Amino acid sequence: MRYINFLAVCFLALGCDQVRLMTGATMGTTYHIKVITSDQVEVLQREVDHELAGINQMMSTYIVDSDLSLFNESSIGEPFAVPAELISLLGRSAEISDSTGGAFDVTVGPLVTLWGFGAEGKPLQIPDKQQIERAISRVGMQHLKIGRSSLTRSVELYVDLSAIAKGYAVDRVSELLSKKGFPRHMVEIGGELKALGNNDRNSPWLIAIERPELLERSIFRTLPIMDLGLATSGDYRNYREVAGKRYSHLIDPRLGRPISHALASVTVLHESTATADALATALNVMSPEQGMTYAIEQSLAVLFIINDGDGFIERRSPALDAYLGQYDD
């Protein structure tokens, strides 16, 4: 999928005495890292940038010679060698796609482009049934064979990892920081994040979830995060209007059409930020009812923000209620 989720995540109430900040650009967005340490972090940031550059070179669809871009141009039916990390992430993507009944699908790119949300930025023209069916014929994990060291596409498949790669990069950077002896940190890339240990006030990192409004930026609620990843998905700032009707950038791969339900945003907490990233997209594709059913079945900590016509209401999964209960006064 060529869209990138730019939902804001705020960092609140952090002191400065022992907080070291690293910022930069990556994956078509920005990163912010906070490390609790008395050490300087210039050398550490160079290592972070090197790590992120390597992930980009594997997984970007904007770098023409990345491993993923080259695979997307590979011959139909011919195995194409790729790094083990790419194999692993696509394996996880396939598992999540299967678990969600296809609501998450890294091959949805042809449909995203058809509806005018691809990188080309073409004006939105409502496709007809035949066009949708032709695009759907190129979508689906069943067209991708994942081998031990290679990938094979059986049709003109286009794989885009933008709905899981940022979360994966967050996990990788967090692992790097921990290995380097910095166990208390928060890593955020394009809104997806992971927080380990306590912040500089010996409290959980307090994360603000944005109210899903187009014209204003405000806080809907905050969540305490410690030793978890967090990802949010929503469509309220990325859509098109045609003849007064709004079309979301989030395409349901199962139907070949933009979502049209009242779910405004979904936030998922998970020990793996990559998994949270993918699940946030999948749950946002589902209806609020389907999403909550899935969250309960999978014991997921999920916050749903729903537009009820008069404003926004929240629905929390039982797992999220149980998690938040640990921090009740």
CB-count burial class (<10 Å; 0-12, 13-18, 19+) for 117: buried
Mean pLDDT of the chain: 90
Answering whether pTM is above 0.95, one says no
Inter-residue contact 154 to 174 (CB < 8 Å): no
Could you confirm whether domain 1-329 is CATH 3.50.50.60? no
Reported as type and span, the H/E element at residue 111 is helix 109-114
Residue 6 has a pLDDT of: 34
What residue ranges in 27-162 does DSSP mark as E strands?
29-36, 80-81, 144-146, 150-153
List, as own/partner pairs, every contact residues 302-305 make where C-beta atoms lie below 8 angstroms and the sequence separation is at least 24, other chains included: 302/266, 302/267, 302/268, 302/269, 303/209, 303/221, 303/223, 303/266, 303/267, 304/263, 304/265, 304/266, 305/209, 305/211, 305/212, 305/220, 305/234, 305/263, 305/264, 305/265, 305/266, 305/267
pLDDT digits (tens, 9 = 90+) for 53-76: 999 999 999 999 999 999 999 999
Residue 121 has a pLDDT of: 63
pLDDT digits (tens, 9 = 90+) for 279-288: 999 999 999 9
Inter-residue contact 232 to 267 (CB < 8 Å): yes
Residue 238 has a pLDDT of: 63
Per-domain residue ranges for the chain?
1-329
Terminal Cα distance for the chain, rounded: 42
